[in-house]
Structure 1
Amino acid sequence: MDTAKIEKRIGIRASTDAIWEVIADLPGWDRWNPVETGVEGTIAFGGQITLAETIEGLPQRQGVARVGEWQPYAQLVWMENRGLWFRAMRYFEIEELEPGSCIASNGFIFSGLRGEMFFDRNRKHLRQAVDSVAEAWKAAAEA
Structure 2
Amino acid sequence: MTTEKNLVRSLTVDIAAPAERVWSILIDLPSYPQWNPYTVKVESTLRLGEAVNLYLPNPASPGELLHVVEYLADFEPQRLLAWEMHASADNPDAARREQLIERTGPNSCRYCTTDQFLGPTADTVMSNHGPWVKQGFDAVALALKARAELLHARRN
Q: Say which structure is richer in strand.
A: 1
Are 1:121 and 2:128 an aligned pair? yes
Q: Which amino acid aligns with 1:107?
A: T
Aligned-residue Cα RMSD (Å) equals 1.8
**Which residue is equivalent to 1:74?**
79
Cα deviations by residue, 1:45-96 (Å, 9 ceiling, x for unpaired):
11221121226x4554101111001101111000112545320212211000
Question: What are structure 1's unaligned runs of at least 5 residues?
Answer: none
Pairing partner for 2:110 from 100, 103, 107: 103
Would you say the 8 A contact 2:87–2:119 is kept in 1?
Answer: no
Q: Distance in 1 between matches of 2:71 and 2:130?
A: 24
**Which residue is equivalent to 2:67?**
62
| Bigger CA radius of gyration | 2
Cα deviations by residue, 1:33-52 (Å, 9 ceiling, x for unpaired):
11112211111211221121
> Kindly, what percent of the aligned residue pairs are identical?
26
**Which residue is equivalent to 2:154?**
none
- TM-score, scaled relative to structure 2: 0.82
- TM-score, scaled relative to structure 1: 0.89
Question: Which 4+ stretches in 1 moved above 4 angstroms?
Answer: none
Instruction: Count residues in correspondence.
Output: 141
Are 1:45 and 2:48 an aligned pair? yes
3-state SS in 2 of match to 1:102:
strand
Cα deviations by residue, 1:105-126 (Å, 9 ceiling, x for unpaired):
1121101121221112223212
Q: Distance in 1 between matches of 2:73 and 2:105?
A: 27
